[in-house]
Structure 1
Amino acid sequence: MGISYKVQEYGGTVVASGERYLTATMVEALDPVVYPMLGHICPYDDTMFNSWQVHTLIKELHHIPDSHPLDPTIREDLRALCDAVLAKPHRQLWFIGD
């Protein structure tokens, strides 16, 4: 398996879930200085981004080269969930580590 991701409201209701999985290799290949949001996802624990952090995450997703292990289909999946976070207040993007 890998790192799943979902959009959750403050009360715990899951609004949307990712269709794919990240791997530790994908996350560890991201320099946290260049990609401060993606580079700080913990592959072995849960990581949560609030709506402010999601704005930065969207910018990062647009700057990852196509040759990177974080392939374009996963990036598109993540962008869709970022949009879901920003669609309503009190939503968060969660990464559920192994």
Structure 2
Amino acid sequence: MINLIVRGDNGRFVARAEAGVEWTAGFGDLSPTEFPMLWALTPYGDAVFNQRQIPLLLAELDRLPRACGGEWVQQARELCQVVERGTHRYLWFVGD
């Protein structure tokens, strides 16, 4: 399970998603040229997105294959808004 958390630049917790990303083979099949943001996800590591990367991540969520989707997608969108509304905030995808 990959958890989604918004943190400040000092590591301070800001918000978290209820749902996590269930890693499926579909994520491994994502093209790094078509999905460079989501391609960065791994089931056992962390990926961090800053305010400038959020629009790119949102665009990828719009065209994400159904096999990779789930409840986490809407919650990721909401957390993206939290990042965009503040300064020095980052969206973390935290692997196991």
The normalised TM-score by structure 1 is: 0.86
- How many residue pairs get aligned? The number is 95
**Does the alignment pair 1:80 with 2:78?**
yes
* CA deviation profile, 1:27-73 (whole Å, cap 9, x unmatched): 324322211101111221111111111110011111224x32322x2
Range moving further from structure 2, 47-56 or 77-86? 47-56
- Deviation of 1:91 after TM superposition, in Å, equals 0.3
Amino acid corresponding to residue 4 of structure 1 in structure 2: N
1:83-98 to structure 2, matched below 5 A, reads 83-98=81-96
Q: Using the alignment, how far apart are the partners of 1:35 and 1:5 within structure 2?
A: 18
The residue aligned with 1:14 is 13
- Is the CA contact 1:29–1:69 (under 8 Å) kept in the aligned structure 2? no
Structure 1 runs not aligned, ≥5 long: none
Amino acid corresponding to residue 62 of structure 2 in structure 1: H
Identical-residue share of aligned pairs (%): 35
The normalised TM-score by structure 2 is: 0.88
CA-based RMSD: 1.4
Structure 2 runs not aligned, ≥5 long: none
Q: Using the alignment, how far apart are the partners of 2:68 and 2:84 within structure 1?
A: 26
Q: Using the alignment, how far apart are the partners of 1:70 and 1:32 within structure 2?
A: 17
* CA deviation profile, 1:65-96 (whole Å, cap 9, x unmatched): 4x32322x221110000000001110000011
- Other structure's SS at 1:52 match: coil
